[in-house]
Copies of this chain bind each other. A is one copy, B any other.
Amino acid sequence: MVNIRDVAKRAGVSAITVSRVINNSGAVNSATRERVNQAIEELGYVPNTLAKSFRSKQTSLIALVLSDITNPFWTTIARGVEDTAEKNGFHVILCNTDENPEKEANYINVLLQRRVDGIIIASTINDKNRFLMLKRHALPCVLLDRRVDGFKCDTVVSDGREGARKMTEHLIRRGYHRIAIVAGPPTISTAQERVEGYCQALRENQVPIDEGLIVRGSYRQDNGYESVKQLLKSDPRPQAIFAGNNFIAVGALHAIRELGLRIPEDVALAGFDDIPQGTLISPALTVVSQRAYEMGVAAAQSLITRLSGKYRGKAREIVLATDIIIRESCGQVRERP
């Protein structure tokens, strides 16, 4: 493949002159520039980013490590990351971990070898040891959506605790008191925070906390389905169910339908994470909505700012607000006759 020297030869200049033309660095006589550009054209020369990266130790590559791009929440985040990266001349490598710690560890390893400029990661397990190598090699990193205890690192999260608190309070105001929460994995910070917000709201409103109404499991649909089926068998059954994420909500929806119960008349349903076209599903879900696109943008911007050297201070945390979206799936508890 034709390289910078071939172009130089053809244009009758040296390689460095060609380099200067390509990168607009240094001053080049306009006639010389003309000849160089012509040579580039004629030879179909394409600069080799690889060689450039090798030399400069900058790949302009950032990795986005998340559980599953198929989840609309992550998709939206990914779009925010990609848009921001593209605007700043970076490319994004996409990595799905499926909440599998081994897969994640392997990705981190390989990304390190690849010398990506930085990593944006929603880690599947709350374990700072996982990031030792990143730290050791001073690879810039942004924690996205999930905190990791004891790992000092720029972080972008939603205020899940407050979101859960507001939603729970909303349910209480509507008259629901036996509210079950189907939370995610106890190891993941988002799940913990949502349970905390839920408990806080109960306490603040003098509603007793019933441990039996707090279920922890995976963020997958099957967990939502199974847990809700189980919950709804109890007597008295919960008046409302608060799903820890969008997949759990969908599982819950199926479980409730299968039991022949009506929403919200028989049992109310609230969720975390909005679903695209949420207004089209029936019943439309009341949810705590995260600003996913903004999270992606913030994470990418945070990372890129670090990379640019514009900010060298200590780890920063960005907390985005959540929004309560009230739709049909939560009603109003009728007064007891």
Interfacial residues, chain A to chain B (CB-CB below 8 A): 1, 44, 46-51, 53-54, 59, 61, 68-70, 72, 75-76, 78-79, 82-83, 86, 91-96, 110, 112-115, 133, 136-137, 250, 253, 275-277, 280-282
Contact = CB atoms under 8 A, between A and B. Distances in A.
Contacts of A86: 95-96
A67 to B, nearest CB: 11
A256 B25 CA distance: 58
26 contacts: A44-B136, A47-B113, A50-B50, A50-B54, A50-B59, A50-B114, A50-B115, A54-B54, A61-B93, A69-B69, A69-B75, A69-B78, A75-B75, A79-B96, A82-B96, A91-B93, A91-B110, A92-B93, A92-B94, A93-B93, A93-B94, A94-B94, A250-B277, A250-B280, A253-B280, A281-B282
Nearest to A48: B115
Given A50-B115, A69-B69, 16 more contacts: A1-B137, A44-B133, A44-B136, A48-B113, A48-B115, A51-B54, A54-B54, A69-B79, A70-B75, A70-B276, A72-B276, A82-B94, A91-B95, A94-B94, A275-B277, A281-B281
**Most chain B Cβ neighbours within 10 Å, of A50, A76, A95:** A50
Contacts of A280: 250, 253, 281-282
Contacts of A94: 78, 82, 92-94
Nearest to A277: B250
A94 B83 CA distance: 11
A48 to B, nearest CB: 6
A50 B83 CA distance: 25
Contact of A79 (B51, B70, B92, B276): B70
Contacts of A281: 277, 280-282
Contacts of A76: 70
A1 B49 CA distance: 21
B115 A49 contact: yes
Nearest to A284: B282
B49 A113 contact: yes
A307 B101 CA distance: 30
A66 to B, nearest CB: 11
Contacts of A133: 44, 46
A53 B48 CA distance: 12
Contacts of A61: 93
A70 B275 CA distance: 12
Nearest to A283: B282
A-B pairs with lowest CB-CB distance, top 7: A282-B282, A280-B281, A49-B114, A49-B113, A54-B54, A94-B94, A281-B281
